[in-house]
Amino acid sequence: MKHWNLEDIAWDRFDPSLVDPDIIPLVKAAAMVERNGDDYALYLHGVFADDPDFHAASEHWATEEVQHGDALGRWASLADPSFDYMSAFARYRAGYKIDVKADASIRGSRSGELVARCIVETGTSSYYTALADATREPVLQQVCRLIAADEYRHFKLFYDHLKRYLEREKLSHWQRLKVAAGRATESEDDELAFAFHCSNETEGTPYDHTRCITGYMARAMRFYQFSHLDRGMGMMFKAVGFSPRGRASRLAAHAAFRLVKWRQKKYERALDSYKAAA
Ligand SMILES: [Fe+2]
Ligand SMILES: [Fe+2]
């Protein structure tokens, strides 16, 4: 059972006068990545081939991720009626592929895979909370709050399976930390940049990773407040096996917040020069 459906959203409350134009490209790009959740479920099926409990859970998880894409895609089409969600997604699907036939995790073990999944859900849970807090548009606020709650439940789901696998695989804190740090830095890879390209640039425009990740990050990083990173860092610490509310987590959150602000300025300057050159 899903916790909500598209019909639960008050679409008729949409107010174009409250839309921040810089949020629209982010929502379009996020819709692509979310809708691709069913491909990740196929990959997870291969990695957890003999675990029917995990199969059932990951299928349900993927249904929710696809719904996140559909809710965001529908909102983006209200905010920008020229946006064709399904054709943008078809371009994304054609150009960005994950190995759905893998029979072992690219993270080296099943526990490693689950740590990586926890990090992804931490990132999405913090991000949609940040967007919900930043926007004054009531429909986007509702959509982002519903999605953020799902993402937090997804974190708990993968964390519960992680605890089960850690009893068998005994992954050390250090190994978990390496996976977590690796996955956290992948946010600037092609998954989001190419999603930004397919959903915001016209067909025929050549894909340029740097331009696209700049377009995405310069806008996305603006919306983080310290509270979002503090909560996210606690979740990451938990996935790695450290105390989520200790001094170390708080210090790491302060460092992450400074890093985000610094990188945001860097991306903002790069975005300004792309705009000036256009
Ligand atoms: Fe999601
Ligand atoms: Fe999720």
1, pLDDT greater than 80 = no
Ligand 1 mean position, distance from CA 36 (Å)? 10
The CA distance from 24 to 112, in Å, is 34
Q: How far is CA 141 from the centre of its chain?
A: 17
Contact between 7 and 143 under an 8 Å Cβ cutoff? The reply is no
Ligand 1 mean position, distance from CA 275 (Å)? 30
| Torsion from C-alpha of 48, 52, 56, 57, nearest 10 degrees | -60
Contact between 24 and 156 under an 8 Å Cβ cutoff? The reply is no
Ligand 2 mean position, distance from CA 240 (Å)? 18
204: left (phi over 0), alpha (psi -120 to 50) or beta: left
The CA distance from 71 to 84, in Å, is 14
Ligand 1 mean position, distance from CA 244 (Å)? 23
196-243 pLDDT, tens digit each: 999 999 999 999 999 999 999 999 999 999 999 999 999 999 999 999
Contact between 199 and 32 under an 8 Å Cβ cutoff? The reply is yes
Enter the tokens of residue 255: 């460092």
2-11 pLDDT, tens digit each: 899 999 999 9
Nearest to 165 by CA among 59, 44, 41: 44
Sign of CA dihedral 76, 77, 80, 85: positive
Three-class HEC string of 203-235: CCCCCCHHHHHHHHHHHHHHHCCHHHHHHHHHH
Q: Indicate the pLDDT class of residue 189, thresholds 50, 70 and 90.
A: confident
Of the chain, the percentage scoring pLDDT greater than 90 comes to 88
**Considering every ligand atom, which ligand is closest to the CA of 154?**
2
pTM for the model stands at 0.95
91-149 pLDDT, tens digit each: 999 999 888 878 888 888 999 999 999 999 999 999 999 999 999 999 999 999 999 99
Where do the H-state alpha helices sit in 13-109? 24-35, 37-47, 52-79, 85-95
Residue owning tokens 């300057």: 269
Ligand 2 mean position, distance from CA 7 (Å)? 20
Furthest C-alpha separation in the chain: 56
Ligand 1 mean position, distance from CA 147 (Å)? 6
Ligand 1 mean position, distance from CA 110 (Å)? 21
275, pLDDT greater than 80 = yes
Q: How far is CA 236 from the centre of its chain?
A: 14
**Considering every ligand atom, which ligand is closest to the CA of 143?**
1
Ligand 2 mean position, distance from CA 122 (Å)? 9
188, pLDDT greater than 90 = no
24, pLDDT greater than 80 = yes
Ligand 2 mean position, distance from CA 121 (Å)? 5
Contact between 209 and 190 under an 8 Å Cβ cutoff? The reply is yes
Q: Count Cβ atoms below 10 Å from residue 67 Cβ, excluding itself.
A: 21
Ligand 2 mean position, distance from CA 27 (Å)? 15
Contact between 73 and 10 under an 8 Å Cβ cutoff? The reply is no
Contact between 222 and 267 under an 8 Å Cβ cutoff? The reply is no
Q: How far is CA 226 from CA 33, 132, 168, 183, 256, in A?
A: 25, 15, 36, 21, 9
Q: What is the amino acid identity at position 140?
A: L
Helix (H) or strand (E) holding 104: none
CA angle 92, 266, 122 (to 5 degrees): 55
